[in-house]
Structure 1
Amino acid sequence: MRLLDRVRHDVGEDIARMDAPTLSVHGAVHLRSAMFAARAGNKPTARAHLDAAADAARLLGKDANHYGLEFGPTNVAMHRLGVAVETYDGPEVVRCAEHTRLPANVAPVRAGRWYMDLARGWLDYGNRDKALAALQAARRVAPEQTRNHPQVRETVQTLIHKERYSKESSTGFAAWIGLS
């Protein structure tokens, strides 16, 4: 966080005076800061960083790839979902899912990550069917990444566990009556 604070200080906060590459750096640093804040459980700070990144993306006006950062409105939307998942904000996961459409030119690895996060968010929110559908979407766009990502394995294990012990499933019913 100290390094990100220093980069933000060095780049400055006056986005109206920044050129496009500097806006990308500014926004990307705020996105990284948002994720660190979310993982630390600091939702207000995470949201403030997301908002600062969104301002830079609005000013930039489109997705860009300065310095390989792939910063823009799409990246901000992807990080909004990531922050919602990290902070267990189910309503925000639903909002992100309903209001975000990834452009066709998003790199498969980034789209795969979006769907992996979406699966985890749906699972945390209690919607196993949508979680599985998001994992299937991740598989379609980034099969190797999906197969090997620890978050996917954890999500699938949780899905299996919840299915096994769900009263609505036959295996859950069997366990309930003592036939497991």
Structure 2
Amino acid sequence: MTQLSASYIEKIETGDRPLTPTAAHQFAKAFGLHVEDVMGAAPVSREGTTPLAELEEAMRDYDIPTRPDAGMTEVAALMVHLQQLRDGVVVSGVLAMLPELLRKSTSVALTENSQSAWTALSDLYSCAYWLAARHRWRLLAELAIARQQWAVAQQDNPVSAALADRDRAGTYLNFGDIERGLDVVDRAIVRAETRLSGEERAYSVGILSLRGMTLAGRLTDKGLAKTEAERHIAAARAAAEDFGPDRTPHGLTFGPANTETHVLATQVDLGEPRRAIEIGADADACLQGLPVTRRAPTYINIARAQLDVGDRDGALESVSRAWDAAPEMARIHPMGREVVRVLSSMHRRSNEKLVKLAQMSGIPF
């Protein structure tokens, strides 16, 4: 069975404690389930069912040039717009754009066979993984990783290889195999350190270390978790210092501020909510300039920490800020939904803001 106590499980069931990713992984392992069976996959809207089917078809046609007239200039311009939608967490817009853009990029890569074209295609598959992982669509996420790895293999690019390994480790993170995910990260860091230098090395090692600290924070052995997390935190901070101000090459933000948002989240997973709250004390200043893909999850993690120390009003304010920053992300974010569920269970009197959030989340109040 799980390492969770009966009383802790009862508190999750009655709405007194949130179902954390670590707890969900333990439940899934104990009962032979997938994590999305425990936490639930986020549903796609009715308007999104057609683009989702088209995305699956485009990924099946990964080696067929179905858009022979497409050019790299057109693909590059469309990718700028796609990144704007992703940075704004306009999930529906990302889903709507991806199928056709994947087809165009596939055709260009197969026709030109250049490193830039294959890099663009691998970045698009990374975006497809991001979309699938946010919704907890396990099979689509794993397919996106397989296609990303295939695109990377067509032309040698160590940075793209590091990104693909980072995303591959993410599938282990999202779906419960923390130890293997850490192994993927550690091996990828060694390769990046060996093959890259300068800014590219800092970026690649940095994003891999961010993934490593997140994975480490969810190890069930909290002594080992703290040791591993501190190792990756130190590596990420060193890489961020070398990299300089936060930027978003290849669709993934890295830099000093984004590193601290990951440190905050890791402290929550390590069971150190007060430390997380200390880090988040100047969250507005830290988050300034970061895309809402980072701002909204950070507010949710602050809300988790506040909930853990009994600050219900603070948790409600923080999760509300996540909704204000990125409603489409807050709607599908599992911990955002869990915070609202627990707050709804704990409140014994009507609260207009909480009722509204519960309604938008689809949670009975």
TM-score, normalisation: structure 1: 0.82
Q: CA deviation at 1:65?
A: 2.2
Tell me which structure has the larger Cα radius of gyration: 2
2:218 aligned to which of 31, 39, 45: 39
CA deviations over 1:52-93 (Å, ceiling 9, x no partner): 100111122211223332110111111011101111202211
Partner of 1:93: 276
Runs of 4+ in 1 over 6 A off after TM superposition: none
Indicate yes or no: 2:326 matched with 1:142: yes
1:52 partnered with 2:219: no
SS of aligned partner of 1:12 = helix
- Give runs of aligned pairs for residues 25-174 of structure 1, distance below 5 A: 25-40=204-219, 41=222, 42-100=225-283, 101-164=285-348
- Given that residues 258 and 294 in structure 2 are in contact (C-alpha distance below 8 angstroms), is that contact kept between their aligned partners in structure 1? no
The answer (yes or no) to whether the contact 1:102–1:111 under 8 Å persists in 2 is no
| Amino acid paired to 2:218 | R
For 2:304, give the aligned amino acid. R
Q: 2:198 aligns with which of 19, 35, 44?
A: 19
TM-score (norm 2): 0.42
Corresponding position of 2:117: none
Q: Is the 8 A contact 2:217 2:270 kept in 1?
A: yes
Q: Which amino acid aligns with 1:142?
A: A
Q: CA RMSD in A?
A: 2.1
How high is the sequence identity, in percent, across the aligned residues? 30
Counterparts of 1:67 and 1:21 in 2: how far apart (Å)?
11
Shift of 1:24: 0.8
Residue-by-residue CA offset, 1:27-75 (whole Å, 9 max, x unaligned): 1111101111100131121022111100111122211223332110111
Which residue does the alignment assign to 2:187?
6
Say how many residue pairs are matched. 164
